[in-house]
Structure 1
Amino acid sequence: MTQCPYHHLGPLPEFFAPDGAEPDDVRRIVTPTGDKMWLVRDYALGRLVLADKRFSRAAAVRPDAPTFNDAQPVPESMMSMDGKEHARLRKTVTGHFTARKMAAMAPDIERLTDRYLDRLEAAGPGADLMEGLANPLPLDVLCQLLGVPLEDSAKFRDWVEVLFDISASSPQVKGRKRLELSAYMADLLARKRAAPQDDLLSSLIQAQDRGELSPGELITLGLTLLMAGYETTVGQIATSAHVLLSQPGAYRDLAGHPERVDAAVEELMRVSPTTPLSFSRVATEPVRLGGALVQAGDAVMVSLLNGNRDAKVYPEPDLLAPEGRDSVHLTFGHGLHRCLGAPLARVQLQIVFARLVRRFPGLRLADVPEPAVWKDGMGTRGLSRLLVAW
């Protein structure tokens, strides 16, 4: 098994660091915005918070609620709703993200992956895995699924990267980009209404025509699906590749046992999740969480990163188990808000690493002073550069 300790995970706030023999399962933290929240670092308690109706997502997006940063879903987003409203919106798209549907997309994802690997090989050793594969592939896949013209992908990528940036862009710039993105989606939906196609956005237009969505919900849902599935998958490909390439022998071992790719993908997502934290929730009544009493109105976040490394659930949690683990990791969340696009992200990662180890069995980090550069100030973890050789 290959070790993946915390210090290989790039820049992280101190509250993620392990505490030793007796860690705090639930602790108070001060967020980058200056607000106070409870941080749940225990696997079982994290699952409880993510699934318990006493912890509300809708309450967490109210104007007076504590915040972690400004890279948060809008209140009209499905990710910001509870109960019947959340279930109503989710029902309109759930059928498009089943494992069976995603498996049907596999040949197209394989074709796109091979195209980018061809370009990577043509670029030669020292190529950037981010620009050559991790950045463009998930956006191409999403554009194909939803029906967004591929020629618009560069424009969309610029919008999304600004909205996920939590340090380098001003509120004014973010506000302008949100308006531009909403206007683009409204125009695209109008074009699809005039000329429907076999894609997800056309299906959502039909749902609106049946009275299942309002015009505003249609636009927000389209944007939610694009934004939620892009940056997270880009980051997960990058962080997973970085773990494999930075740990001695890990990539070579996987290349020698390609039948282990699916299990390796689950372990890579577990030890190095792109989303280290859940979205916040607000307690609607007092709740005892481990040794902490969370009062009504308190905000709570779950550390998916710490939960995924809970030694009570994952023996020797810093090690990558080549045959996989029995317990389901928290990277995609848990409960009613579990990531809708999990099957799509999973099939992309499985295809990427299956093709990568086959095409480049000797892949390694480039021999340069800084082959991996982590993104700074992003709402999700990821890299801006990952130079590789073979």
Structure 2
Amino acid sequence: MTTPRTDTPLGPLPDFITDGTDGTDDIVRFVTPVGDTMWLVRGYALGRAVLTDKRFSRARAALPGGPKFNDAEPAADSMMSMDGDRHARLRRIVSGAFSTGRIAAMASDVERLTDQYLDEIAAHGPGADLVAQLAAPLPLAVLCSLLGVPPEDSARFRDRVEVLFDITDDSPQDKARRRTALATYMKDLVDRKRRQPQDDLLTALIGAHDRGALTTNELITMGLTLLMAGYETTVGQLGLSVLSLLTDHDVYRELVARPERIAPAVEELLRLNPATPLTFPRVAVQPVRLGNVTVQAGEAVMVAPLHGNRDATVFAEPETLRLTGHDTAHLTFGHGVHRCLGAPLARLQVRIVLEHLLRRFPTLRLAAVEEPVTWKEGMAVRGLSRLLVDW
């Protein structure tokens, strides 16, 4: 096993990701930010095993009183908190929106939006904050288009959806109020879509509801789940990917000279610097042997893609961004039946942003200021709140 570095571009990592108490490397005990004890799986092979093993239940982890990592986890009625047939039923309903053909058809819109933001950056430069001016607005615009959120609602939508990842010390009452406001907005949007249907995912979900395939609560929760899975994580991944390249000047210059290598580079950037360092918890429904330990029934397990993606027994030169890539798939988007549905859309956005950014700004560099990079705090995903650049 290779322990991830904690310097840039990985940024600061909490002790519970790297500290273990049982003397093993691939699986360790740790205490979550809310005080619960869990097992953290850090080996690649063990991680894949957990993510496909039906003896580990997402639904059990979402029950009231179940072991928690933080208070930003999905609700029990979310697709991401279900097992078996319930999960499969909901996943089938939305899977068509993320098919290869549907995502490929979105490429022209993503390219148009990317160029629009880069035009604005160029017009106001030299100098920019790539988070505020590109990494944050692009996924928002893409999601609004996919779901059918009116452009005039986008700012309100952004401010509200961020509460789904908020793990700050704000009062539970304040967080509940903001989550209620987001759910209320989604209900209102569903009502508007019902009166004026369009060719978007939310309208399709309303049709599924009217056919009896979704309950009203499932419809609202599905809309919120897609927001949670698609917005903050992609914002984080875009910023982290650009930062990785800006801290490796040789790779940046190589990609500028050979843009055909950007696609394999995207997979390496996803492997080395994932916005989602940990999966959601799973609870063992019976004793399960993992490596050198036995996870008892009722104990919770989390998988750490941040570690598994750098497992030296699986990936050659695990700390190096290899433009030739690796034959083995990384764990950034998970594995098994809960593998991220939006992975193709996230990949598409990262690839297009890098292709257009490097072509337009071949001399891009971190700004020569005291703190060009600021890391987000109080969020359940990794990301940047500021990325100052110059050219």
**In structure 2, what residue type is equivalent to 1:294?**
V
Q: CA separation of 1:226/1:234 partners in 2, compared to 1, >3 Å: closer, same or farther?
A: same
Q: Does 1:226 align with 2:227?
A: yes
Partner of 1:197: 198
Deviation at 1:16, TM superposition (A): 3.4
- SS of the equivalent of 2:198 reads coil
Any residues of structure 2 matched to 1:40-79 within 5 Å, and which? Answer: 40-79=41-80
Tell me if structure 2 keeps the 8 A contact 1:163–1:177: no
Tell me if structure 2 keeps the 8 A contact 1:162–1:169: no
- Aligned residue pair count: 385
Partner of 2:321: 320
Q: Does 1:248 align with 2:249?
A: yes
Deviation at 1:249, TM superposition (A): 2.2
The whole-number CA distance in structure 1 between the counterparts of 2:190 and 2:216 is 10
- SS of the equivalent of 1:321 reads coil
Tell me if structure 2 keeps the 8 A contact 1:73–1:80: yes
The whole-number CA distance in structure 2 between the counterparts of 1:286 and 1:94 is 33
- SS of the equivalent of 1:325 reads coil
Tell me if structure 1 keeps the 8 A contact 2:78–2:222: yes
Q: Does 1:382 align with 2:380?
A: no
TM-score, structure 2 length as denominator?
0.96
- SS of the equivalent of 1:217 reads helix
- SS of the equivalent of 1:386 reads strand
- SS of the equivalent of 1:333 reads coil
Tell me if structure 1 keeps the 8 A contact 2:40–2:301: yes
Tell me if structure 1 keeps the 8 A contact 2:311–2:318: yes
Deviation at 1:168, TM superposition (A): 4.5
Partner of 1:30: 31
Tell me if structure 2 keeps the 8 A contact 1:127–1:387: yes
The whole-number CA distance in structure 1 between the counterparts of 2:143 and 2:309 is 27
Superposed CA deviations along residues 302-347 of structure 1, whole A, max 9, x for unmatched, are: 0110000000110110000011111100000000000010111111
The whole-number CA distance in structure 2 between the counterparts of 1:227 and 1:119 is 28
Partner of 1:215: 216
Deviation at 1:223, TM superposition (A): 1.1
Superposed CA deviations along residues 115-157 of structure 1, whole A, max 9, x for unmatched, are: 0000111121221000110000001000001100111111111
Tell me if structure 2 keeps the 8 A contact 1:244–1:250: yes
**In structure 2, what residue type is equivalent to 1:221?**
M
Partner of 2:104: 103
The whole-number CA distance in structure 1 between the counterparts of 2:274 and 2:263 is 16
**In structure 2, what residue type is equivalent to 1:379?**
A
Any residues of structure 2 matched to 1:227-306 within 5 Å, and which? Answer: 227-306=228-307
Any residues of structure 2 matched to 1:165-180 within 5 Å, and which? Answer: 165-180=166-181
Unpaired runs of at least 5, structure 2: none
Deviation at 1:93, TM superposition (A): 0.4
**In structure 2, what residue type is equivalent to 1:380?**
V
**In structure 2, what residue type is equivalent to 1:77?**
S
RMSD of the TM alignment (CA)? 1.4
The percentage of aligned residue pairs carrying the same residue is 63
Deviation at 1:17, TM superposition (A): 3.8
Partner of 1:132: 133
- SS of the equivalent of 2:374 reads strand
Partner of 1:11: 12
- SS of the equivalent of 2:106 reads helix
Q: CA separation of 1:227/1:305 partners in 2, compared to 1, >3 Å: closer, same or farther?
A: same
The whole-number CA distance in structure 2 between the counterparts of 1:165 and 1:74 is 14
**In structure 2, what residue type is equivalent to 1:155?**
R
- SS of the equivalent of 1:388 reads strand
The whole-number CA distance in structure 2 between the counterparts of 1:192 and 1:251 is 44
Deviation at 1:18, TM superposition (A): 8.9
Superposed CA deviations along residues 51-70 of structure 1, whole A, max 9, x for unmatched, are: 11100000001112111111
Deviation at 1:172, TM superposition (A): 1.2
**In structure 2, what residue type is equivalent to 1:220?**
T
Partner of 1:152: 153
The whole-number CA distance in structure 1 between the counterparts of 2:82 and 2:63 is 11
The whole-number CA distance in structure 2 between the counterparts of 1:170 and 1:355 is 42
Partner of 1:351: 352
List structure 1 segments (4+ residues) > 6 angstroms apart after TM superposition.
Answer: none
Deviation at 1:169, TM superposition (A): 2.7
The whole-number CA distance in structure 2 between the counterparts of 1:17 and 1:377 is 19
The whole-number CA distance in structure 2 between the counterparts of 1:226 and 1:140 is 12
The whole-number CA distance in structure 2 between the counterparts of 1:389 and 1:186 is 43
Deviation at 1:247, TM superposition (A): 2.2
Deviation at 1:171, TM superposition (A): 1.2
Partner of 2:339: 338
**In structure 2, what residue type is equivalent to 1:124?**
G
The whole-number CA distance in structure 1 between the counterparts of 2:36 and 2:284 is 15
The whole-number CA distance in structure 2 between the counterparts of 1:96 and 1:385 is 31
Superposed CA deviations along residues 185-244 of structure 1, whole A, max 9, x for unmatched, are: 111111111111011111111111111001111111011112210000000000111111
Tell me if structure 2 keeps the 8 A contact 1:6–1:17: no
The whole-number CA distance in structure 1 between the counterparts of 2:88 and 2:113 is 33
